[in-house]
């Protein structure tokens, strides 16, 4: 039989985390990501792990802070309003350089919004939803196999750079089902967690302190410079993008996550009709895949960014394209998912096809 299992997105992400060695999960219920903590509550005890339903998202992320500080592979998940609550803890973790994986199964906003899928949390994810100068590595899978693979890799990236990694999904990805296969990520050499607060007896009596408070301006600037140097390394090493039909594409559609899959269907239709259209799908939203843009620039005449938002990633596309080509935008909001036909219509309009 096949090694594949049919899983719901939220479950697949949870199982992938467990297979990546995550043994601690702290969360709080919110739709549409509930299957993730539910699965964890059932599965973690089977592998000797710990699940705690926290009293709030605020508490959950701070439990993650404590557990990550004690050297564990640890995860939390939530959906948009809950992720907003976690921002305080995320900023502290970035400041204290703690590795962990955070999952956001995005729903419609602002405020309580709806439980339908959305992509309105892009700014919050890549520009820093919490206070201070920090970056999260943000990975946006478009299908469940990729979600599984990226979650596996996310733990390594987090440990390698001592930085939180955000998996940015959306309600569709969390709720849909697809067959997945669990496989190892390419092994990376990871540093020992000799900084973890596990008690002096566990690290030769050297006192460890997990902290983000740096009172002296000179010291805090030095700490920030260190963070920025780390982010510069990540920017070079961790860009990920998929290019589809871009070799001869006059129009390149830029889309991530579920939206990119709909774009693929639209592009298949357009290609059948002979139109030279391609897809650039950022997989790492931070670092933004600038290298991939460099590859498509020689041929591309126009860019069209499609999002389930009022236009957030499009700002990064414009920064990269830097005025060299027109950057168009098409977005739907409120939980409305664009159809392949809508997208094809936009493309044809830009290409001047009647």
Which residues ranging from 216 to 245 are in contact with other proteins (CB under 8 A)? none
Where in 244-263 is the site for other proteins (CB under 8 A)? 258, 261-262
Residues in the chain: 354
Q: Which of 27, 32, 82, 289 binds other proteins (CB under 8 A)?
A: 32
Question: Is residue 137 part of the contact set for other proteins (CB under 8 A)?
Answer: no
- Distance, in Å, from the CA atom of 336 to the CA atom of 338, rounded to the nearest integer, reads 6
Q: Which of 40, 75, 86, 92 binds other proteins (CB under 8 A)?
A: 92
Minimum distance from residue 31 beta carbon to other proteins (Å): 4
Distances (CA, A) of 1 to 12, 109, 146, 267, 272: 19, 43, 22, 34, 35
Counting residues that bind other proteins (by CB under 8 A) gives: 78
Q: Which of 337, 345, 348, 351 binds other proteins (CB under 8 A)?
A: 337
Q: Cβ(100)–Cβ(76) under 8 Å?
A: yes
Alpha helices by DSSP H, 97-163: 122-126, 144-161
Q: Which of 69, 113, 129, 164 binds other proteins (CB under 8 A)?
A: 69
Candidates 64-72, 186-194, 273-281, 318-326; binding stretch for other proteins (CB under 8 A): 64-72
Question: Is residue 58 part of the contact set for other proteins (CB under 8 A)?
Answer: yes
Q: Which residues of 41-54 are buried (b: 16+ CB within 10 A; e: fewer)?
A: eebbeeeebebbeb
Minimum distance from residue 312 beta carbon to other proteins (Å): 20
Candidates 203-211, 217-225, 233-241, 345-353; binding stretch for other proteins (CB under 8 A): 203-211
Minimum distance from residue 237 beta carbon to other proteins (Å): 26
Question: Is residue 52 part of the contact set for other proteins (CB under 8 A)?
Answer: yes
Minimum distance from residue 296 beta carbon to other proteins (Å): 21
The SS3 call for residue 315 is helix
Q: Which of 17, 20, 36, 64 binds other proteins (CB under 8 A)?
A: 64
Where in 268-327 is the site for other proteins (CB under 8 A)? none
Structure tokens at 52: 């705690």
Candidates 110-118, 133-141, 160-168, 224-232; binding stretch for other proteins (CB under 8 A): 110-118
β-strand partners of 168:
104
Q: Cβ(42)–Cβ(209) under 8 Å?
A: no
Minimum distance from residue 352 beta carbon to other proteins (Å): 26
What H or E segment, with its residue span, contains residue 269? Answer: helix 257-272
Distances (CA, A) of 236 to 37, 166, 186, 324: 34, 18, 18, 23
Minimum distance from residue 341 beta carbon to other proteins (Å): 11
Q: How many angstroms from the chain centroid is the CA of residue 97?
A: 18
Q: Closest CB to other proteins among 72 and 138? A: 72
Q: Phi/psi at 165 (nearest 5 deg)?
A: -120, 135
The interface mask with other proteins, positions 146-185, x = CB under 8 A, is -------------------------xx--xxxxxxx----
**Minimal CA–CA distance to 139: which of 61, 240, 227, 235?**
240
């Amino acid at each position: 039989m096949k090694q594949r299992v049919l899983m719901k997105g939220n479950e697949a992400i949870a199982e992938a985390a467990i297979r990546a060695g995550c043994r601690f999960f702290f969360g709080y219920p919110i739709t549409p990501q509930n299957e993730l903590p539910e699965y964890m509550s059932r599965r973690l005890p089977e592998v000797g792990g710990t699940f705690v339903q926290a009293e709030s998202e605020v508490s959950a992320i701070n439990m993650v802070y404590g557990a990550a500080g004690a050297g564990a592979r640890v995860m939390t998940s939530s959906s948009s309003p809950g992720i907003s609550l976690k921002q305080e803890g995320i900023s502290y973790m970035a400041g204290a350089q703690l590795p962990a994986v955070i999952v956001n199964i995005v729903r419609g906003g602002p405020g309580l919004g709806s439980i339908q899928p959305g992509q309105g949390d892009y700014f919050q994810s890549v520009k820093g939803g919490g206070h201070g100068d920090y970056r999260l590595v943000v990975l946006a899978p478009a299908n469940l196999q990729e979600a599984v693979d990226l979650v596996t890799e996310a733990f390594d990236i987090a440990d390698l750079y001592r930085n939180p990694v955000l998996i940015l999904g959306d309600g569709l990805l969390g709720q849909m089902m697809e067959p997945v296969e669990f496989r190892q990520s390419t092994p990376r050499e990871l540093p020992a967690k000799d900084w973890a607060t596990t008690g002096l007896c566990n690290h030769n009596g050297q006192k460890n302190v997990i902290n983000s408070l740096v009172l002296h301006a000179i010291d805090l600037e030095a700490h920030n410079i260190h963070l920025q140097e780390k982010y510069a390394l990540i920017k070079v090493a961790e860009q990920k993008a998929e290019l589809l039909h871009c070799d001869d594409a006059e129009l390149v559609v830029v889309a991530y996550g579920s939206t990119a899959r709909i774009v693929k269907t639209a592009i298949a239709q357009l290609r059948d009709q002979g139109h030279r259209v391609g897809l650039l799908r950022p997989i790492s939203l931070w670092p933004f895949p600038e290298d991939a843009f460099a590859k498509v620039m020689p041929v591309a005449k126009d860019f069209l960014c499609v999002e389930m938002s009022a236009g957030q990633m499009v700002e990064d596309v414009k920064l990269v394209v830097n005025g060299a080509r027109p950057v168009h935008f098409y977005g739907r909001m409120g939980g409305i998912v664009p159809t392949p036909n809508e997208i094809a219509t936009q493309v044809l309009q830009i290409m001047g096809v009647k």
